[in-house]
Structure 1
Amino acid sequence: MKIPRPGRVVRGSKSGSPIMAMFDLLGRRWSMGVLWTLSEQGPCTFRALQSACETISPAVLNARLKELQAAGFVMQGEGGYQVTELGRDAYRALIPLSQVSKNWAIWLSDNPESVDD
């Protein structure tokens, strides 16, 4: 399994800047959702995590868990999969972005003419 790594070519960066490598990893389908769910709910078994993520397939969940483990964001421990300290750091860094996304949603609903459907 190949995960994005700083210093190597990644999606959006020929130099592999660390932030772009992280965006490449977390930008993969369901990566951020898995990290977010584990951060919010705590340790989960595979089945509980799949249920919490609702529409994720077992194959995609398995792939994302392997990638997130290889990258150091998630580990398997007592009670199932859980975020590591690095994963908690990433989650805490994403919380302000979550607030910006909520403000953006409000702005879009207040400015429907700005959205091109």
Structure 2
Amino acid sequence: MKNFHANGKCPIRDVLSRLGDKWSMLVLVTLEANGTMRFRDIHNAIADISQRMLTVTLRILEADGLVSRKVYAEVPPRVEYQLTRTGESLMPHIRTLVDWAMQHMPEIVESREGH
């Protein structure tokens, strides 16, 4: 039997806690679909995310090495975001989950309505 103790070294807890929030996967999918993007473009693509939450989410994804941030020395400053190689390696797994969700959403909605 495998045990998943909360000792800070459980990769399942660690990764899922980062990706299981409301916005991280949407940001990653948006960057994969569109390539390199500016903050404003990401914000427009995910219409219901606040600027503050997008900033926090991008910082977390950058800290985890899934997204890179490039600042250009221009006036006004231009900042672009893109997936890193690690982020790109994660995307087939996220796409599989997204595909599963799309395929099973009708039955999930029906089940929810029955409860």
TM-score above 0.5 = yes
Q: Please state which structure has a larger fraction of its residues in strand.
A: 2
Distance in 1 (alpha carbons) for counterparts of 2:5 and 2:25: 20
Q: Which ranges in structure 1 are unaligned for 5 or more consecutive residues? A: 1-11
TM-score normalized by structure 1?
Answer: 0.77
Partner of 2:76: none
| Rg larger for | 2
**Which stretches of structure 1, 4 residues or longer, exceed 4 Å deviation after superposition?**
none
**Where do 1:1-117 residues align within 5 Å?**
14-15=6-7, 16-77=9-70, 80-108=80-108, 112=110, 114-115=111-112, 116=114
Q: Percent identical across equivalent pairs?
A: 28
Q: Which of the pair has the greater relative contact order for Cα pairs under 8 Å at 6+ separation?
A: 2
Q: Which ranges in structure 2 are unaligned for 5 or more consecutive residues? A: 73-78
Query: RMSD over aligned Cα, in angstroms?
Result: 2.1
